[in-house]
Amino acid sequence: AKNNPNEPEFLQAVREVAETVIPFIEKNPKYQGKMLLERMVEPERVMMFRVAWVDDKGQTQVNKGYRIQMNSAIGPYKGGLRFHPSVNLSILKFLAFEQVFKNSLTTLPMGGGKGGSNFDPKGKSDTEIMRFCQAFMTELARHIGADTDVPAGDIGVGGREVGYMFGQYKKLRNEFTGVLTGKGITFGGSLIRPEATGYGDVYFAYNMLKTRGESFDGKTVVISGSGNVAQYAAEKARQLGGKVVTLSDSSGYIYDAEGIDEEKLAYVMEIKNVNYGRISDYLNKYPNAKFVAGKTPWEVKCDIALPCATQNELNGDDAKMLVANGCICVAEGANMPSTPEAVIVFQDAKILFAPGKASNAGGVATSGLEMSQNSLRLSWTSEEVDDRLKRIMYNIHESCVEYGSDGSGYVDYVKGANVAGFVKVADAMLAQGVV
């Protein structure tokens, strides 16, 4: 903690990993004495830079830009870019650290990284977004490359932003490579990449539920967020027979007791992806639903909860409420949405709980598949990518069970994900020497 002052999110993420990995290291002499965990918590490289751009009024704006290259033991750095006013070094280091373990779990050859800016996309015009993305990439371009570091989207960075950044990279470097994932289908993007994180989260929950003879069928599902991950988690949960009753954004949540069906979800996608509006706009078309301002949806009674908005959005009291209301399964679509207190509540109640680094790994896994397709210069069908995604989520679940079973039938998915993710990176670091 004294080496990383003012980095609470980063320390939170490291502590959670250390608590499960240190006991494993103590039992396995091979991993002792090489300062493995100490090396893993230190980013290989951190870039911080100025992003200056001109807004529609002709005024100059200045933002902070970052790229954290955390660990390249098992492949090129890989991880998204986040544009949100809350972005700082601590948040990006926590995300980059988590990404190392997550990418290892996917079984694909990807190291870990993360980046972004404190730029606030809300209320910006399309041309302002484009100029910002170009200014951001003008600096970032010198640090990344298809075999070095391959960024993708995250909060505030979707297909539109990736497109603008890809265009600028191509112009600066005069090369057409798979330097970013989440690209448009017409220029190297992969089918199912937009859906992958949300779908993957539901596939993971499906595998967890199966261990207890349960499924999504007929279950009430509460989801937070209404962005990329939340939208496709809602779609897949519904396709598997679940009834999704909530979605949210930073202003509050909507509750639709009748369930958010295909048509209603299409409207959410229009609100969020076309009009860049607020989730409360849902009531314009579906006035029977309720909008609860300034709150998260965890007070709504449900069987399955999928937190898909942001870090620390579900605290200990929320967790107690979920458990008391009979929730049997929580699968994180966002990164670290549950606070440490909430995780303890879920684990003490012995309900199914999956940490984001396992259950949301489908996004980066499909980014890995996009990289493969770009290298091969061909594209796979939706079915092919979806099948691979399903298989990857199944395998991640198996790894968690292997390393997280306590012998009594209970699976600690936090321990399972951390240890399974650690082993592969640690073995590669040992083989590559102290560098």
Q: Smaller CB distance to ligand NDP: residue 84 or 238?
A: 84
Report the nearest approach of ligand NDP to the CB of residue 49 (Å): 21
- If binding is defined by CB under 6 A, does position 334 make contact with ligand NDP? yes
Q: Which amino acid is at 209?
A: L
The residue annotated as part of the active site, out of 93, 102, 114, 264, is 114
Length of the chain: 435
Q: Which two tokens stand for residue 75?
A: 């492949």
Is 236 noted as a catalytic residue in this protein?
A: no
CA angle 361, 157, 282 (to 5 degrees): 95
Site string for ligand NDP, 76-105 (x = CB under 6 A): --------x-x-------------------
DSSP 351-397: -EEE-HHHHTTHHHHHHHHHHHHHHHT----HHHHHHHHHHHHHHHH
Site string for ligand NDP, 10-39 (x = CB under 6 A): ------------------------------
- If binding is defined by CB under 6 A, does position 161 make contact with ligand NDP? no
Q: Say how far apart CA 311 and CA 305 lie, in whole Å.
A: 15
Range list of β-strands (E), 170-325: 220-224, 243-249, 252-255, 290-293, 304-307
Which of 358, 334, 306 is CA-nearest to residue 106? 358
Query: Of residues 116, 225, 355, 416, which one binds ligand NDP by CB under 6 A?
Result: 225
State how far Cα 43 lies from the chain centre: 19
Report the nearest approach of ligand NDP to the CB of residue 350 (Å): 26
User: Considering only residues 229-288, where is the footprint of ligand NDP by CB under 6 A?
Assistant: 229-230, 249-251
Report the nearest approach of ligand NDP to the CB of residue 249 (Å): 3
- The CA-atom distances, in angstroms, between 169 and each of 248, 289, 391, 433 are 34, 44, 33, 34
Q: Residue 223: beta bridge partners?
A: 306
**Contacting range for ligand NDP; rule: CB under 6 A; set: 1-9, 220-228, 339-347, 424-432:** 220-228
- If binding is defined by CB under 6 A, does position 374 make contact with ligand NDP? no
Report the nearest approach of ligand NDP to the CB of residue 182 (Å): 7
Q: State the catalytic residues.
A: 114
Contact positions vs ligand NDP (CB under 6 A): 84, 86, 153-156, 158, 197, 225-230, 249-251, 308-310, 313, 333-335, 360, 363
